[in-house]
Amino acid sequence: MNYIKHKSEESVEDYLETILILSRRLSQVRSIDIATELSYSKPSVSIAMKNLRTAGYILVSSEGFIQLTNTGLKLAEETYDRHQTLSAMLISLGVSQETALIDACRIEHDLSAESFAAIKKHFKSIHPRK
């Protein structure tokens, strides 16, 4: 079975994860916040937000505030969990934090659910507080 995702799927996950992170830090999330966080152009983020809205992952208020739908929130939380777990695992192996965060972002998109569940279970058994 092929688990490799298309770049567009990775992009969706990255945007949703960023919206989740920003929503925990800010009272309201706007496109400009996402553009700043990801160092993307405002037009690129605007197109992405339109696509995410059309796909049912986000809601955009008339004031331009972005909110994850239940579907978007579920995917964002799954992606964030993968990122956090994988980066913590890599750091525990002695990888620098900067490299671990970059590598975790790469791995999180291509790892099957089965493999991630096994990695997470093993990591939690040897690092119960993480």
Q: Which domains does the chain have, with CATH numbers?
A: 7-69 (1.10.10.10), 74-126 (1.10.60.10)
**Would you place residue 64 in the very low, low, confident or very high pLDDT band (cuts 50, 70, 90)?**
very high
The angle formed by the CA atoms of residues 18, 32 and 7, to the nearest 5 degrees, is: 45
- The residues, ordered by sequence, that sit 6+ positions from 82 with a Cβ below 8 Å of its Cβ are 104, 107, 108, 111, 116
**Could you read off the pLDDT of 36-63 as tens digits, one per residue?**
999 999 999 999 999 999 999 999 999 9
Return the pLDDT at 130: 57
83-93 average pLDDT score:
93
Return the pLDDT at 98: 95
**Could you read off the pLDDT of 99-119 as tens digits, one per residue?**
999 999 888 888 888 999 999
